[in-house]
A and B are shown apart, each in its own frame.
Chain A
Amino acid sequence: MSHEGLEFAGHELARASLDACVKCTICETMCPVSAVTPLFSGPKFVGPQAERFRNGDSVDHSLDYCSSCGTCTLVCPQGVQIAELNSQARAVMKADHMPLRDKLIGQTVLMGKVMTPVAPIAKAALNNKPIRAMMEAVVKVHRDAPMPPPQGQTFEGWFRKRPKPSRTPTRGALVFFHGCAGGYFEVETSKKSVEVLEHLGYEVIVPKQGCCGLAQQSNGLFDQATASVLKLCDDLRAAGTDLTIISSSGSCTGMLKHEAHEIMGVTDDKLKDVGTRIRDIMEFLLDLHEAGELPTDFAPIDMTVPYHAPCQLKSQGMGMPAVEVLKLIPDLTVVESGAVCCGIAGTYGLKKEKYDIAQAVGRPLFEMVKKTNPDLALCDTETCRWQIEQSSGVKTEHPIFLVHRAYGLS
């Protein structure tokens, strides 16, 4: 194996951490996948246990069912990098026979570029049963899986063409990282984030930017993912090397903060630079609040709303900043879902052979959401929102929507 990423996966690893495993089973109790299917032997077995015997391929092929949600690493009290070990071992396992589908669904920018100009057609195609059945047969993407909502305008297009903000910045500049989903599909989330930041008095710089490579990474395509993430670091650094970078794309933020380094072994200084300067937008707002710098002249929103913290946000180890920020809005009651995972885990739940598992994982969440508020749910990452919305029928938005509204911006 000559690829740098896979070499790291094969040899270097977060492997040292497996010796810290005391077999306490705590990870087992929280894994959302082994909870719903006997096909997966669970984090302790495929992780620290199987890893001990791994020389090349994993000895436990049920590993492929791990969704890489990261929950096991988060709850392990001994610091074992279970999910990271799994992602590495899976990349090695799939290296020789990567399914075409897994290569394709990593191409998030391409999907966005192709769909945006033909949004209505794309939308119709994605809602068309025979087309989806064909997609399922040919590329093995499940016919009922949630798909990104094609938009008529990209975020970049909006940002360039909109009238100049009337307010003069009073607080300095920030760099905004929108991610591919935030650029092409979840355009509204990106717009609202920028408007909130500008309302707070920041100048928002949006450099031309590519993809973080997360979907490629989670599908085991480490070479491509490494190239993508390093290119993105260059893009973001082009806007300045001392500015705080803000993102409303929870999972891509995680890729930059730790996953590219911990899973693929990327050690480049520019990743370290970007990874330490980037903040999730709700994290940033909470930081401002704690420093006494967040205006809290929020208009009341009289509503009870379910909030689901996505796995990739939780795995950043910062708690749930959105819950704390939303608490500042008068009359708003936020009910945390308490659910481990919505099931989608990036692209996992799209796959034909994983779809039913992903739905079973998410079911308690879907029920909770419907019961709490049939009209609106909140969640910080794109694919999780699509999953919740598709499976519960409840409109699901980024928490920034309510902040935007409470500031009187919508």
Chain B
Amino acid sequence: MSRVVVIGAGLAGLVAANRLASAGVGVTLLTKGIGGLQLSQGTIDVLGYAPDRVTNPVLTLSAIASARPGHPYAAIGAAGVHTGIEYLKQLLPDLLVGDAEANYQLPTAVGAIRPTCLVQPSMVAGHLKDGAKVAVVGLRRLKDFHPALVAENLARTTLPDGGRLVARPVSVDVPARDAEVDSSGLTYARAFDDPAFRARFAAALKPLLGDGETVGLPAVLGLKDRTAWSDLADKLGHPVFEIPLPPPSVPGMRLNEALMASAKAAGVRVVNGTRAVSVRVEDGVVKGVTVATAGADREFTADAFVLAAGGFESGALALDSYGTVTETLFGLPLAGLDAGPLVHGDYWGPEQPLFSVGVRVAGDMRVLDGNGAVVHPNLYAAGGIIGGSSRWAEKSGDGIAVGSAVVAADSILEVLA
């Protein structure tokens, strides 16, 4: 029997499983599919807007935590986020750089400037300074990236620190594989893993670059080979940075695969492709979670459970046609339902209250009911299932996931010790 069962393999579940297992605890990770990391930019947002652009995420989240007691950061705390960010960097030393005290400001695939906290080394040169000269390079057969859109928007943007830059689009046509006219970013990433392809690509691009230009490329510079981007930069003789694309997100896949690999290496038993469908609770204590495997159902018992099943987007929360919101596995009490109509009609207006609905947690990440009492003594929550914030508007979802996962894991370790 594993001592802890973690439900969900998004950022929150993977971090919690890693932390528990590396402390020597037996962990089973149950998931009905791959989590949300592959849909992300492959960076770690801690706090981007509050509502103004944030430059020091930890500092600003401390202010939010004291002003908004229902915000997840009030429960996790600046210290929890700090611990989480440091832990994640330590887990993925060759994939994430940065620190919780400063945001990078990076170009997006539409040429806006996005604040984010930890970034991949291949993106660092995208933190642009006043006077920068940028060549935004597109691949003709990669339809998800439009260099002119990016370059023109960047050129008319004032950088967050007031600076300006010049940017121009460049297009090259180097097929990822023969006879394919419409290749996905992932197909290109696999091609960039091959040094021979990188050499061909560099040879085609180098003559088109001007003196002193920094090269922005779609984030497809290798999936497995962590040195693909720096090797390309060397071959070009120019600094290079990656700009994340819509899914499939290659930087997100890198994070997902690395976290899954480290979890397995730490001894986590991963059971994929199985939805948790019911729970067994005795005297308030969660005893087991049953998953719908092929053939007969199967119960996983444990001392403690971490619910890291995400939110609406992953089916952990559901809204029916009567406007009733439920947490679909445990039927947990939800916060944020009394904020008036859950959906208002003003599309461009304030955040829809619906998206802040979720469970409320104590400082140790145990789930609370409406009266602030612990629902099950051995049930912890992490990530998107925790309500109280509009994560994509604040750009806080990753920080909440990592912080809550680490705090939940540490609380469990303390109890089990």
Contact = CB atoms under 8 A, between A and B. Distances in A.
Nearest to B190: A35
Q: Which of A26, A320, A323 has the most CB of B within 10 A?
A: A26
A22 B264 CA distance: 28
B59 interface: no
Nearest to A75: B34
A256 B295 CA distance: 8
Contact of B186 (A28, A276, A320, A338): A28
B269 interface: yes
Interface in B7-58: 28, 31-35, 38-39
Contacts, number: 93
A29 B33 contact: no
Given A26-B33, A28-B184, A78-B33, A276 B272 contact: no
B269 A26 contact: no
Contact of B271 (A278, A318, A336): A318
The range of chain B's interface size is 35 or more
B272 A74 contact: yes
B314 to A, nearest CB: 6
A38 B295 contact: no
B211 interface: no
Nearest to A259: B294
B298 interface: yes
Given A275-B295, A278-B295, A29 B273 contact: no
A73 B190 contact: no
Interface in B142-158: none
A257 B248 contact: no
A319 interface: yes
Contact of B247 (A25, A76, A279, A338): A25
B272 A319 contact: yes
Contacts of A275: 295
A290 B177 contact: no
The range of chain A's interface size is 35 or more
B179 interface: yes
A320 B273 CA distance: 12
B296 A276 contact: yes
A28 B273 contact: no
A29 B32 contact: no
A172 interface: no
B328 interface: no
A75 B180 CA distance: 26
A361 B298 CA distance: 32
Interface in B50-104: none
Contacts of B1: 290
B184 A30 contact: no
Contacts of B39: 24, 26
A317 B247 contact: no
B337 interface: no
A338 B261 contact: yes
B179 A317 contact: no
Contacts of A276: 295-296
7 contacts: A73-B273, A74-B33, A77-B32, A77-B315, A78-B33, A78-B315, A257-B295
Interface of B: 1, 28, 31-35, 38-39, 177-180, 183-184, 186, 190, 247-248, 253, 261, 264, 269-275, 291-296, 298, 313-315
Given A28-B248, A75-B33, A75-B272, 19 more contacts: A22-B313, A24-B38, A24-B39, A25-B247, A25-B248, A26-B247, A28-B186, A29-B186, A74-B272, A74-B273, A77-B33, A77-B34, A254-B294, A257-B295, A314-B272, A316-B293, A318-B271, A318-B294, A323-B269
